[in-house]
């Protein structure tokens, strides 16, 4: 079965954030046993684990609100590319450690701001999930920010590589702060977060970090969007093909 | 035995020289953790990290996964100075048995001392 | 002096006390430990690969989370054990170099491929199960840092075996396809798991010395028998058989008697010609080489920071 396109806007919000976490977990999952040092493998696994944990809480809540047959695995394993509403940023491939770090850094800054705001949500359950996620995101950011500095201000090669990674993923950062129309009521009620309002603080943290890391913010102003409405890059289809393979191959089985 | 690879017939075990080349990798850090408030930090192992910040973060991932930690210390291994030969260093206490409370026989009726 | 040291060492072993890093120890004791603990560490780290192979395809989010946590634990085990090896005066770099060049090995069990989701369950139940039997014994090993690493590791291992068995229980209750997947995994992992305990005691050249030094406390064959006795009923509980026509319960001894192990296969894999030997090492060396620039960058940055702070001071 698939999950019906919901009319409940809170479900839409929960699923969108859960999708972000699920897809990034999947990308990091590809990287476990691929990090440059054993200690970093532990760190990568740790972040992946936090992300999937938050995703499960959010999907679970969404499933309850959605009613019917929905379960968290229906959302993750049985929806198509067009139904996923994750940001384009998280579906971008690992490429190398610099890309993993840069993608993670931008996302971690965004998520610390997002969860901070959502932990004050008037929806208690969402606030609870966000409060926990905020603590984890703070730690993720501490880790990814430190690596931005090490790579940016490390050697000539690391500088070149991390600048290339920043250049590659920068155009997927703007989307994180584009408000989703359906959310306006939720924001007004104090349930959802006003993501556009998070942008100045994001810019401040990013600019300060880039400067300290001796990196530059890409001058190309182009920002890609579409993830939130299910218009993805081609990367997502392959990612889902792998992630959903078991459930699609053995429909209806219990694992 | 599991995880211990036997030497195949016809193969010889590799010579291990302990004085190998100096490691060029990330420095070694010793990790100490306080399991809960009220207890001392105790040594729990080591890890490699380029700097203190990453040593702390790595120690968290490596040594606190069961959630039984209240605090962590990391110390560059080169900063640990150890006592020498334990037999000569700590034997002297043997001839000062009066330092141990059990040296003194106190009648039961004296009560708690 | 050397004689005195030897006497002290023997007395410590005799009294069942631990040898600690700065103690005098015979060269053979040191090199045996380096080899054994390092290969144990390598096994934990290489062992991440067959399981990580299924992280992206885990059938549910919960199974994915559990598997990531499990693989993360194995990385942690590798780290604890490298840390214990390093107390013997050898660096992780050198150990890693010995692994990459094939001068040190890792457990052959990880040279088998994970071909289905059931293999992830079978590894947790059978492979971690065998490791647990061994590692519980090693908690009593005579070298302090190794023993302490084992205590830490054993705390985490029962989660590994249980999550594996839970995967298999779900399959056992599932569709015919799932049941077939389950039996197939047991058929493929059973014998390699028994081989994990190593050659028979009669063919095991180093066992005697290791037992004398109390590095190991129970012989290969005895551990293997303990393992078979605990595992066969668990296979039956799943409604499965083990691929051994000679297996039978011996009422008199109270043990499960099993058939002959194919030692040719065992030595073939140990010598490097198992199904996945090359892939495992190639992946490991590629990741290591690809990561060189990252490790260098971190060192360069730390040096810059250090010189900056001395300038400020
Ligand atoms: Fe392990
Ligand atoms: Fe394990």
Q: What is the pLDDT of residues C158-216, one digit of tens each?
A: 899 999 999 999 999 999 999 999 999 999 999 999 999 999 988 877 788 899 999 99
Q: Which residues of chain A have pLDDT under 50?
A: 1-5
Which residues have a beta carbon within 5 Å of ligand 2, which is an ion? C 128, 160
Quick one: pLDDT at residue B87? 63
Quick one: pLDDT at residue B103? 78
d(CA C11, CA C29): 15
CB atoms within 10 A of CB B104: 8
Helix (H, G, I), strand (E, B) or coil at A215: coil
Q: Which of A215, C37, A60, C67 is nearest to B16 (CA)?
A: C37
Ligand whose nearest atom lies closest to the CA of C107: 1
Q: Closest Cα of chain C to A143: distance in Å?
A: 13
Size of interface A-C (CB pairs under 8 A): 142
Q: Do A242 and C291 touch (CB under 8 A)?
A: no
| pTM beyond 0.90 | yes
B8: closest chain C residue by CA: C267
Quick one: pLDDT at residue B86? 62
Q: What ipTM did this prediction achieve? A: 0.96
Quick one: pLDDT at residue B21? 45
Q: List, for residues B75-100, the tens digit of each pLDDT value.
A: 999 998 887 666 666 665 666 777 77
pLDDT over 90 (residue C120): yes
Band of residue C61 on the pLDDT scale cut at 50, 70, 90: very high
C-beta of residue C62 within 8 angstroms of C-beta of residue A56: yes
Quick one: pLDDT at residue B2? 57
Quick one: pLDDT at residue B22? 47
Give Cα separations from C292 to A146, B6, C296 (angstroms).
Answer: 18, 31, 6
Sequence ranges of the domains in chain A? 3-249
Which chain A residues touch C65 with a CB distance below 8 Å?
Answer: 49, 52-53, 56
> In the 3-class helix/strand/coil scheme, how is C207-246 assigned residue by residue?
HHHHHHCCCCCCCHHHHHHHHHHHHHHHHHHCCCCCCCCC
Interface membership of A213 toward B (CB under 8 Å): no
pLDDT over 70 (residue B15): no
Interface membership of A17 toward C (CB under 8 Å): no
Percentage, residues of chain C above pLDDT 70: 99
Percentage, residues of chain A above pLDDT 90: 92
* Residue B69 CA, ligand 2 centroid: distance in Å: 21
pLDDT over 90 (residue B5): no
pLDDT over 60 (residue B11): yes
pLDDT over 80 (residue C122): yes
A42: closest chain B residue by CA: B61
CATH superfamily of A3-249: Ferritin, core subunit, four-helix bundle (1.20.1260.10)
Q: Do A43 and B57 touch (CB under 8 A)?
A: yes
Q: Do B50 and A146 touch (CB under 8 A)?
A: no
Which residue in B48, B50, B60 is closest to A150 by CB distance? B50
């Amino acid at each position: 079965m698939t999950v019906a396109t919901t009319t409940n806007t809170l479900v839409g919000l929960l699923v969108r954030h859960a999708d972000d976490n699920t897809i990034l977990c999947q990308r990091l999952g590809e990287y476990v046993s691929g990090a440059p040092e054993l200690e970093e493998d532990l760190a990568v696994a740790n972040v992946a684990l936090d992300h999937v944990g938050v995703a499960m809480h959010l999907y679970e809540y969404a499933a309850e609100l959605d009613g019917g047959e929905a379960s968290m695995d229906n959302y993750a394993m049985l929806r198509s590319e067009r139904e996923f509403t994750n940001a384009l940023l998280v579906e971008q491939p690992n490429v190398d450690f610099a890309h993993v770090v840069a993608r993670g850094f931008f996302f971690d800054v965004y998520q610390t701001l997002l969860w901070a705001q959502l932990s004050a949500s008037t929806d208690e359950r969402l606030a609870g999930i966000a409060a926990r996620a905020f603590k984890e995101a703070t730690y993720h950011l501490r880790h990814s920010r430190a690596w931005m500095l090490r790579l940016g201000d490390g050697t000539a090669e690391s500088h070149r590589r991390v600048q290339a990674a920043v250049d590659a993923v920068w155009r997927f950062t703007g989307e994180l702060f584009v408000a989703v129309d359906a959310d306006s009521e939720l924001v007004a009620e104090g349930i959802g977060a006003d993501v556009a309002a998070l942008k100045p603080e994001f810019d401040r943290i990013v600019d300060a970090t880039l400067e300290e890391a001796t990196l530059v913010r890409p001058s190309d102003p182009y920002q890609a969007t579409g993830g939130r409405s299910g218009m993805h890059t081609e990367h997502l289809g392959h990612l889902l093909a792998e992630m959903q393979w078991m459930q699609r191959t053995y429909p209806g089985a219990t694992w | 035995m599991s995880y211990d690879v036997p030497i195949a017939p016809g193969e010889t075990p590799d010579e291990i020289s302990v004085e190998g080349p100096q490691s060029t990798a990330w420095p070694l850090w010793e990790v100490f953790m306080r399991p809960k408030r009220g207890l001392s930090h105790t040594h729990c192992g080591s890890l490699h990290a380029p700097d203190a910040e990453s040593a702390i973060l790595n120690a968290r991932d490596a040594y606190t996964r069961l959630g039984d930690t209240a605090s962590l210390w990391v110390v560059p291994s080169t900063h640990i100075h150890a006592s020498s030969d334990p037999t000569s260093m700590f034997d002297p206490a043997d001839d000062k048995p009066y330092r141990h409370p059990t040296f003194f026989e106190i009648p039961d009726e004296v009560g708690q001392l | 002096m050397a004689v005195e040291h030897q006497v002290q060492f023997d007395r410590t072993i005799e009294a069942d006390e631990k040898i600690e890093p700065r103690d005098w120890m015979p060269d053979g004791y040191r090199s045996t430990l380096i080899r054994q603990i390092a290969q144990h560490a390598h096994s934990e780290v290489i062992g991440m690969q067959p399981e990580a192979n299924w992280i992206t395809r885990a059938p549910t989010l919960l199974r994915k989370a559990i598997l990531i946590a499990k693989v993360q634990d194995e990385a942690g085990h590798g780290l604890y054990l490298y840390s214990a090896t390093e107390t013997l005066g050898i660096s992780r770099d050198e150990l890693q170099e010995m692994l990459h060049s094939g001068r040190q090995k890792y457990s052959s069990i990880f040279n088998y491929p994970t071909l289905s989701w059931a293999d992830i369950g079978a590894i947790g139940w059978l492979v971690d199960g065998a490791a647990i039997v061994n590692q519980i014994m090693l908690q009593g090993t005579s070298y302090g840092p190794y023993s302490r690493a084992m205590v830490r590791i054993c705390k985490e291992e029962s989660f590994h075996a249980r999550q594996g068995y839970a995967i298999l229980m779900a399959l056992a209750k599932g569709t015919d396809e799932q049941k077939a997947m389950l039996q197939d995994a047991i058929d493929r992992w059973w014998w390699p798991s028994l081989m994990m305990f190593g050659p028979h005691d009669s063919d095991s050249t180093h066992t005697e010395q290791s037992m004398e030094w109390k590095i190991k406390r129970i012989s290969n064959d005895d551990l293997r028998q303990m393992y078979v006795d605990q595992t066969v009923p668990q296979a039956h509980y799943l409604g499965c058989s083990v691929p051994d026509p000679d297996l039978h319960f011996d009422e008199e001894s109270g043990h499960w008697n099993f058939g002959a192990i194919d030692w040719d296969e065992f030595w073939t894999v140990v010598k490097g010609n198992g199904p996945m030997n090359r892939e495992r090492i190639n992946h490991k060396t590629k990741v290591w080489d690809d990561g060189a620039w990252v490790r260098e960058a971190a060192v360069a940055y730390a040096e810059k920071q250090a010189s900056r702070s001395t300038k400020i001071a």
